[in-house]
Amino acid sequence: MRWSLYVAAFVLTALFRFLTLGDGFPNDHYVYISGGWQMLAGEWPTRDWVDPGLPLMFAVSAAAQAVFGKVLFAEAVLVSVAFGAGAALTAAAVLEVTGTLWIAALATLLEVVVFPRTYGYPKVLVYAAVFLCCARFVSRPGHWRAVLMAFAVVVAFLFRHDHGLFLGVGCALTILLAPDSGTLAQRSRTLALFVLAGLLMVAPYLLYVQLNGGLPAYIRAGVDFSEREAARQWHIWPAVFGDDKPFQSALVYEFYAIPVLALIVLVAQRFGGPEGPPYVHGTDPPYVHRGLDPPSAHRIPQWSAHVIPAAIVALLANYYLVRDPLDTRVADAIVPAVMLGAWLAARAVQATRHRTAALGVLALSVALFGASVSSAGSIVENLDRTDVRREWDHLPRLFMTRSAELHERFSTHQIPTRATLSLVPFFGYLDRCTADDHRLIVGGYLVELPFFAQRRFAGGMGYLGGSFGGDETERLTLLRLRTQVAPFAVIPSDYMVDLEGRFPRIVEYLRARYTKLADVHVTDELDVNVFVDTTLAPVGRDRDTGWPCFR
């Protein structure tokens, strides 16, 4: 039954996420798709272009494109498989902690329903993987399991550095709190092994950074990126009553209430005297599968080792991941919430005192949390996006239709913004009149442009703007621009003033070398300005547009 749950969670989640891509990826996701394209062209993050601390996000996108081709289908497979694996790992982690299949299935369903953005797959995958490693360590502590936890934390760190820090704290607490870890000295040695193993695993990456700009500069750039992101999108406490989406706003408070309530229940269990059996009657808890004795004497310490680390990770994730706008951010903290919520559900079902009240509170809480995640995940809209409700008996055809769309370079359903859709004729011109090694200077948040243009971005910056800035970044960007061939700069009209304020020396460089070639109309309020490098001698004129050709 356990493996049936895992397989079902993986297959159904992966299929669901794949079919919902009928409207394409959000443009934020193209930061990583374009970065993967840049890697396939031979350039590496940090060494050749600015990486704000997400190296594995770019690397796995590049790997997917290397396997499946430089089309959106590659990223679709990656994201779908990652969410499917995350669902299966969540089910396994919850089952490890609660021993109850239906609770594991419900927790996994809620995780899927909240529907994190496509680029949020590491926030499901790596958190679920680390929690599973922690649960396995609690059930049977050992040095190899500590090393496995270290590996999972390093992977999380390479996906995004703060994930590794949050989960590293949780793993360290797990080692110290696991009841069968031995004496304090033995726990300390295991913790030292965990830290040392993690440092050894991450050392090659740190050495790579040091050899390509240095760790101090890398850390400064990361801090600058985080500060600018925080100033633009910081943690919020939304109003619930009178809000357009009250259940979605309530989810923020529910995310905080769950770890706090779990800690309160843990303390109450610690001082409240004997309780019921550690797992629901009629199920096989993990220790049965391993031939171990029931851990009745250790159930409170075991619960502490599960709950306290997860609660700390949950509070950190809530504060640093749940930001404005809630529509795109609130789902990011789902895994710690469902892990702790599942433990609370198991405690309510297993209660021997005040059982009726406990079950009533559980039913009400599940209903409220379910309504909140459904609202945050827009579940009805996403089900409609799959077309399954209309053609559930034609799944193979739906899958093939979606695959065909994701293989098209300029499918109107897959292009994320009107600005990029308006630039499709320009991309055709680039194909005819520029070489593959020519680059584009991208201004504003047109992060998808390099991928659809099939040209590398110039200056070592995916786009001039956003959270990238500072004198050192501008100096290095100018140095790179002077050594690269970038026939065109593409800048949205609504970003010109911001560009002048953020990158004055780059603007001076552009004014000295580039002249306007065309204004591509997008809306009444927005044009995309295309500038051409006047220092490059054209070899001819494009037959369709009359514009200069550089090959």
**Contact predicate 30/416, CB 8 Å:** yes
- Whether residue 367 is predicted with pLDDT greater than 70 in this model: the reply is yes
Task: Mention every residue, 6+ apart, whose C-beta is less than 8 A from residue 18.
Answer: 76, 77, 80, 399, 402
pLDDT at 293: 40
Q: What φ, ψ does residue 362 adopt, rounded to 5°? A: -60, -50
The H-or-E segment that residue 533 falls in is strand 526-533
**Contact predicate 250/240, CB 8 Å:** yes
pLDDT at 323: 86
**Predicted confidence (pLDDT) per residue in 147-164, tens digit:** 999 999 999 999 999 999
At 127, the pLDDT band (50, 70, 90 cuts) reads very high
pLDDT at 236: 79
The H-or-E segment that residue 217 falls in is helix 215-232
Q: What percent of the chain clears pLDDT 70, i.e. is strictly above it?
A: 91
Which of 196-210, 223-237, 250-264 has the least mean pLDDT?
223-237
Give me the mean pLDDT over the 109-137 stretch.
Answer: 97
Pairwise CA distance, residues 374 & 106, whole Å: 13
**Most confident of the following: 271-285, 303-317, 491-505:** 303-317
**Predicted confidence (pLDDT) per residue in 166-224, tens digit:** 999 999 999 999 998 889 999 999 999 999 999 999 999 999 999 998 898 888 777 77
**Predicted confidence (pLDDT) per residue in 424-436, tens digit:** 999 999 999 999 9
- Whether residue 275 is predicted with pLDDT greater than 60 in this model: the reply is no
- pTM listed for this prediction: 0.92
Looking at the DSSP bridge assignments, the partners of residue 443 are: 464
Which of 110-119, 190-199, 378-387 has the least mean pLDDT?
378-387
**Predicted confidence (pLDDT) per residue in 280-321, tens digit:** 434 444 444 444 344 444 577 889 999 999 999 999 999 999
At 22, the pLDDT band (50, 70, 90 cuts) reads confident
pLDDT at 324: 82
